[in-house]
Amino acid sequence: MESSTLLAEQRISLPSDQDASGRTLGDEELDLLGQVIRSGTLTSTKGEFVRLLEKRFAEVLGVQHVYACASGTAAIHTAVAALDPNPGDEFVTTPITDMGALAPILYQGAIPVFADVDPRTFNVTAETIAPCLSDRTKGIIVTHLFGNPCDMRGIMELARAKNLPVIEDCAQAFMAEQGGQKMGAIGTIGCFSLQQGKHMTTGEGGLVCTSDPALARRMFLFINKAWGYGDPKPDHYFLAPNYRMSELQGAVGVAQLSKLKASVVNRVLAAARLTEHIGDLPGIETPYTYPKSMHTYWKYCLRVDSGTLPGGAVGLAQILAKKGISSAPRYIQKPAFMCEIFQRQRTFGSSRFPFTLARPETVDYNPDRFKGTFAALESALVLPLNERYTDQHVDYVAQSLRDAIRQLGA
Ligand SMILES: *Cc1c(COP(=O)(O)O)cnc(C)c1O
C-alpha cells in the first residue's frame, strides 16, 4: 500500500482512446448530430451526411469512389466480395492483423494464405508474398500495421506482374503516405475502420475506397443487399448483406474528418518526440519505416531484445503497468493462424467449409515458414498513443521506459 501511494504521487494519467480524454469528440459532432435528429432521417439511403462523408474522404485520399459501411470488418468484406472469388480461391495476407481482416475471406468461401512478415515492420513484403502465390490466388491483402506503410513499391510491382488486385487494410493507417500517395489509394481497394480506438471514430463504422468504376459498383451493391437503387428495373442482383452506416454515424464522421489532419499531426509529433527521447536506450529498437514513408502512429510499437533486457517485452510491460502505462507485449499474442478458427477450422456448422477446399500446404501453418512473424511478436511492445498526448505525456512515457530498462538491469 505504502509503495503504491508513493508511486501514485509520481504518476500522471495518460489520455485514453476509450473515452473523451484521448478523443476529439465535441461540439462539432453534437451540432451535426442535432441536425440529423431534427431532420428525422436516420437512414443514409435518404439522408445527406453519409454521402458527404464519402465525398470528403474521397477528396482527402485522392480516389474516385468511397463508400461508408458498418465496420472495418464490413469494409474488408465488401472489398473481398467486390472481387467475387469462387469458393476455394486464395487471398495472400498477413498473420499479424485484426481478425476482422481475415473472417471476411472465409465468409466469401475463400482461403487466407498466410505470408511471413518483415520483423522490422511487422508487415508482409513482396519477398514474403511471392512464394505464397498460386494459380488459385485471387488477390493480395496487406495491413499497414500500427500506421506504418508496407513497402508498396515491391508489392505493386509483383501484383502487376501477376495481374492481381491488392486490398490495403488501412484501419490503423489513416493519412499514412508513401512516395507522396496516401495509403489506401495505392492498391486496387483501400479499407478503413472508424471503430472507437482508430484515428477517427464513429464508435463503429468503416470506409472502403477504389478508383475502379466496376469494383465501385459492386461495393455499393454489396453494402446494400445488392439492390439496384436508381436502376430502371432494380433487383437483388446477388447475395449481399446490409452493411450500411446510419446518418447518426455519418454526421459524427463528417465532424471527425474535419479534425483528422490535426489529429494525425499531433500523433506524428508525439511519436517523433518519443523516438528522440528513447532512441539511445539499450535493448530496444524504435519503429523502422521503409524509404519515402510516413508512419501515422495508431500505436507506437517498440522491438525489445530479450537478450539485452531479461524478461523482454513482457518484463518491461509489467514495470510500465506499475507506472500506469498499459502497454501490450506481443500485440495479438500469437499469429492469427494459431487461433481456433484456423487450428480447428470452426466455420459453418461442422462442415469446415471453406477449408475443405484448401490446398494442404496452405493450411499446415508450419512455424518454420513464419520465422519473421514469431520473432516480430516475441519482441513487440505496443505503447499507447493518441492525438491528445502532450509533451508532458510523452516525456512521462519516455522517463518511465528509461527507469524500467534500468530496473531490468541494462
Ligand atoms: C480495427 C481493425 C480492423 C477491423 O475493424 P472493425 O471496425 O473493428 O471491424 C481490421 N483490420 C485492422 C488492421 C484493424 O486494426
The ranges of the chain with pLDDT < 70 are 1-10, 410
Q: Note if the pTM is more than 0.85.
A: yes
CA atoms within 13 A on the CB side of 352: 10
Cα–ligand 1 centroid distance for 220 (angstroms): 20
Residue 179 backbone zone (phi > 0: left; psi -120 to 50: alpha; other: beta): left
Q: What is the pLDDT of residue 399?
A: 96
73 lines ligand 1 (CB under 6 A): yes
**Is the C-beta atom of 95 inside 6 A of ligand 1?**
no
Site to substitute for ligand 1 among 76, 91, 195, 298, most atoms within 8 A of C-beta: 195
pLDDT for the residue 410: 65
Does residue 206's CB lie within 6 angstroms of at least one atom of ligand 1? Answer: yes
How confident is the model over 280-317, as pLDDT tens digits?
999 999 999 999 999 999 999 999 999 999 999 999 99
pLDDT tens string 219-231: 999 999 999 998 9
Q: Is the Cβ atom of 98 under 6 angstroms away from ligand 1?
A: yes
Q: How far, in Å, are 71, 191, 229, 408 from residue 204 at the CA level? A: 6, 14, 25, 40
Q: Could you tell me which of 45, 42, 39, 37 has the C-alpha nearest to residue 242?
A: 45
Q: Best of 96, 172, 202, 245 to mutate for ligand 1, by most ligand atoms within 8 A of CB?
A: 172
Instruction: Report, at the CATH architecture level, how domain 2-22+260-331+375-407 is classified.
Output: Alpha-Beta Complex (3.90)
Smallest CA separation from ligand 1 atom 5, residue: 72
CATH 3.90.1150.10 domain locations along the chain = 2-22+260-331+375-407
pLDDT of residue 369: 97
The CATH topology of domain 27-256 is: Aspartate Aminotransferase; domain 2 (3.40.640)
Residue 285 backbone dihedrals phi, psi, to 5 degrees: -120, 130
